């Protein structure tokens, strides 16, 4: 009698799993609203500001198309557009300007959902390439109470008082070019229904830009994204 009940229970559980699996779609399409922030502002050894890391917070969108290998693993490709709209010199107070930095990214991506329940941690990684370009507007800074000499240490020089100095920096434009890039995200997903899932992800990305006077650092930035994932295509048992 006990063996019969156990057998019936196993059949019911397997039937439920099979019924649920029938609603699993082959593909998924995901749209992400992304907020991004470069790594903290920095200066070169010669005290000249880095370009990318002194841009302010940015925003963008990302689209991910994926094939569901299983309920947990998906392989896909992502396309992103990111905008950074203000550059600030870390040494001086910077007014608003017409500077911008734009990125277009394409990358194969793997995504792993740790659990099969409604709530699940998610990890993903991608590696591809980024096309980037920028413009830094000409800027000027007014430095009050400027003193080229420390008169407390040098007393045998004529004391010259300069109330303020205007510092001008020329602008420049960087033509679009491509570089390899990598990214990694971690977050949590909520399966709203059999076909819709919402995710909240935090990530880290790095673009291996070519070294020159304007771009001589790896462009690294943090991101946070809110996503809507829609399962599409014919259902399959996985």
CATH number of the domain bearing residue 180: 2.40.160.20
Beta bridge partners of 63: 31, 79
Q: Are strands 58-68 and 172-191 parallel, antiparallel or unpaired?
A: unpaired
pLDDT band at 136 (very low <50, low <70, confident <90, very high): confident
Does the residue 231 lie in any domain?
yes
How many residues appear in the chain?
238
Contact criterion met (CB below 8 Å) for 84 and 55: yes
Higher per-residue pLDDT: 70 or 5:
70
Please give the residue range of the domain that contains residue 127.
23-136+173-235
Least confident of 37-46, 100-109, 149-158: 149-158
Positive or negative, the CA dihedral 69, 73, 75, 77 is positive
What are the backbone angles phi and psi of residue 53, rounded to the nearest 5°?
-70, -10
Does 155 fall in a domain? Answer: no
Percent of all residues in the chain with a pLDDT value above 70, rounded to a whole number: 72
Q: Does residue 51 fall inside a structural domain?
A: yes
- Residue 230 located in a structural domain: yes
Residue with tokens 């302010």: 56
Q: What would the pLDDT profile of 56-109 be if each residue is shown by its tens digit?
A: 899 999 999 999 988 899 999 999 999 998 888 887 766 667 889 999 999 999
209 part of a folded domain: yes
Task: Judge whether 45 lies within some domain.
Answer: yes
Which of 4-8, 24-28, 157-161, 186-190 is the least confident region?
A: 4-8
pLDDT digits (tens, 9 = 90+) for 194-234: 889 999 999 999 999 877 666 777 899 999 999 999 988 76
Question: Which of 14, 204, 13, 30 has the alpha carbon at shortest distance from 113?
Answer: 30
For residues 115-136, give the mean pLDDT.
93
Q: What is the separation of C-alpha 206 from the centre of its chain, rounded to a whole number of angstroms?
A: 9
Q: What is the spatial distance between Cα 10 and Cα 15, in angstroms, rounded to a whole number?
A: 8
DSSP code of residue 91: T
- Contact predicate 6/195, CB 8 Å: no
Is 199 a member of any domain?
yes
Assess if residue 119 is contained within a domain: yes
pLDDT greater at residue 50 or residue 107:
107
pLDDT recorded at residue 19: 42
Is 0.85 surpassed by the pTM of this model?
no
| Count of domains for the chain | 1
């Amino acid at each position: 009698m006990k063996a019969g009940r156990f057998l019936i229970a196993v059949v019911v559980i397997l039937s439920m799993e099979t019924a649920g699996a029938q609603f699993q779609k082959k593909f998924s399409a995901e749209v992400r609203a992304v907020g991004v922030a470069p790594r903290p502002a920095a200066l070169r050894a010669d005290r000249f500001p880095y370009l990318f890391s002194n841009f302010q917070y940015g925003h963008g969108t990302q689209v991910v198309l994926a094939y569901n290998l299983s309920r947990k693993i998906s392989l896909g490709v992502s396309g992103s557009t990111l905008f950074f709209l203000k550059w600030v010199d870390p040494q001086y107070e910077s007014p608003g300007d017409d500077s911008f930095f734009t990125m277009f990214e394409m990358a194969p991506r793997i995504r792993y959902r740790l659990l099969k329940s409604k709530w699940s941690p998610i990890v993903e990684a991608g590696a591809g390439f980024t096309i980037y370009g920028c413009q830094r507007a000409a800027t000027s800074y007014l430095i009050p109470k400027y003193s080229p000499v420390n008169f407390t240490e040098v007393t045998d020089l004529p004391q010259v008082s300069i109330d303020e100095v205007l510092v001008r920096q020329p602008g420049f434009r960087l033509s679009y070019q491509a570089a390899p890039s990598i990214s990694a995200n971690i977050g949590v997903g909520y399966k709203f229904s059999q076909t819709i899932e919402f995710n909240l992800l935090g990530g880290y990305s790095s673009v291996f830009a070519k070294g020159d006077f304007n771009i001589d650092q790896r462009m690294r930035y943090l991101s946070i994204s809110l996503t809507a994932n829609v399962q599409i295509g014919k259902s399959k048992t996985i």
